[in-house]
Amino acid sequence: MLYRADFETALYSPDGKYILSVLHNGNIKIWDANSGKSLKTLKGHTSYVNSAEYNPDGSRIVSASSDKTLKIWDASNEECLQTLKGHKRIIYSAKYSPDGKRIVSASLDTTIKIWDANSGKCLQTLVGHTKCVNTASYSPDGRYIVSTSDDKTLKIWDASGGICLQTLKGHSSYVLFAEYSPDGKRIISASVDKTIKIWDANSGACLQTLKGHEQTVKTASYSPDGNCIISAGRDGMIKIWSAK
* Interval 128-149: pLDDT, tens: 999 999 999 999 999 999 999 9
Q: What is the average pLDDT across 174-200?
A: 97
**pLDDT number for residue 9:** 72
Distance separating alpha carbons of residues 68 and 78, to the nearest angstrom: 21
Q: Which of 172, 129, 132 is nearest to 154 (CA)?
A: 129
Tell whether the model's pLDDT for residue 45 goes beyond 70. yes
Tell me the pLDDT tens digit for each residue of 8-31.
Answer: 578 899 999 999 998 767 789 999
Q: What is the average pLDDT across 189-218?
A: 97
Rounded mean pLDDT of the chain?
93
Strand partners for 103: 96, 115
Global pTM value: 0.93
**pLDDT number for residue 187:** 98
**pLDDT number for residue 26:** 79
**pLDDT number for residue 182:** 96
Task: Quote the percentage of the chain above a pLDDT of 70.
Answer: 96
Tell whether the model's pLDDT for residue 36 goes beyond 70. yes
Q: What is the average pLDDT across 211-216?
A: 96
Contact 51, 79 (CB under 8 A): no
**pLDDT number for residue 219:** 92
Q: Which of 163, 153, 170 is nearest to 210 (CA)?
A: 170
Q: What is the average pLDDT across 154-164?
A: 97
The dihedral formed by the CA atoms of 188, 190, 194 and 195, expressed in degrees to the nearest 10:
-10
**pLDDT number for residue 23:** 75
Range of lowest pLDDT (9-13, 31-35, 165-169, 198-202):
9-13
Distance separating alpha carbons of residues 138 and 53, to the nearest angstrom: 14
Distance separating alpha carbons of residues 210 and 44, to the nearest angstrom: 40
**pLDDT number for residue 11:** 87
Tell me the pLDDT tens digit for each residue of 68-126.
Answer: 999 999 999 989 999 999 999 999 999 999 999 999 999 999 999 999 999 999 999 99
**pLDDT number for residue 37:** 92
Distance separating alpha carbons of residues 73 and 83, to the nearest angstrom: 9
- Residues in the chain, overall count: 244
Distance separating alpha carbons of residues 105 and 134, to the nearest angstrom: 9
Q: What is the average pLDDT across 198-223?
A: 96
**pLDDT number for residue 112:** 98
Distance separating alpha carbons of residues 91 and 184, to the nearest angstrom: 26
